[in-house]
Amino acid sequence: MGSTCLLEADNDVLRQVVKLLNYSSIESFNEDVGKIKEWIKKQPQFPEVMVDKKIKNFLILNKGSVEKSKEKIENYYTVRSQLPEIFDNIHPKLSYMETVKASIYFIPLPKLTNEMYRILFYKVRDPHLTENFEPVHGIRLLVNIQEIRMTEDITYGDVFILDGKNTPLRSILKVTPMVLYKALNVIYTQVFSQRLKAVYIINAPPYAEKLFNAFKSLLKPKLIERIHFCEDSHILTEKFGKEIIPADYGGSEKSLEVLQEMLYQKFKESEDYFTQLDKLRINDDLKPRRLINDEMFGLSGNFKKLEID
């Protein structure tokens, strides 16, 4: 991977997170990582033997459960064939990604919260360009960010901050229930195992809560309780501290513009890695049994409620 330091996550963070998972020691945690790696080696249908750092993240994000981690790793490889509309044109070097970059900010912030959560910040950068911005592009960007995080990050969960300022209603209306389901439930939860701890929607336009209420039937009560609408951005420095929040919002962290440049520089440095990811596909001919099906991913036409652990 490249040399740009995008995320602050060191061995001290790992020790704290492992302790939160009730492991007696790092050695005990690494034993479970080894068990998963040995299992991967025995799966002839897998396109690679996953690197230890990714396995560690799967284990952390699945609360130390070896069996759940195995299931999510199977999902990680299988979904690439299940959702070709996302994964067949996802490399960050593709030309449309420049339009995505010019249209929106969508950035993981460098510093973790005190609870070991990573904040992901979203804001429309140019409302005029969003006319050509499709929701699937946002999903692909989310996946690419998650790929970087799986190799370089360590967290106990995520917090999303969505700035509604300058967001055209037509852009919101493009987000259909199926798009929302694929982004949150399939990609974010079933594949990358991320745990969503809170969503803060700041500078929310008047129609935001009405649209949210329309989507409520798709959400589990636990998730609904974690979504907060805020009239302005003052809550951010109060809730998370100035050192975490970007300078655009009264914090002492780098601006969204600088952080975005760092993210895309990381993408550029990691082109070989993403080219390798493009080739990762399950070999169905070597599959001992079908562990994953359309029902698990909720793609059979019947929606299941969005549930974030």
The domains of the chain are located at 11-87+280-286, 96-269
Please list the alpha-helical segments (H only) found in the chain.
11-20, 26-41, 52-61, 66-82, 84-87, 96-103, 135-152, 169-173, 177-180, 208-215, 221-224, 234-240, 256-269, 271-278, 294-297
Position 301 scores a pLDDT of 44
Mean pLDDT along residues 143-149? 95
* Res. 131: pLDDT tops 80: no
Position 280 scores a pLDDT of 93
pTM of the model: 0.90
Residue type at 241?
A: G
Count, residues in the chain? 309
Residue type at 199?
A: V
Q: Which residue has the tokens 């790929």?
A: 147
Mean pLDDT along residues 18-29? 94
Is the domain spanning 96-269 CATH 1.10.287.180? The answer is no
Q: What is the pLDDT of residues 202-261, one digit of tens each?
A: 998 777 777 788 777 777 788 888 888 887 888 899 999 999 999 999 999 999 999 999
Q: For 237, what's the count of Cα atoms within 13 Å in the CB-facing half-sphere?
A: 13
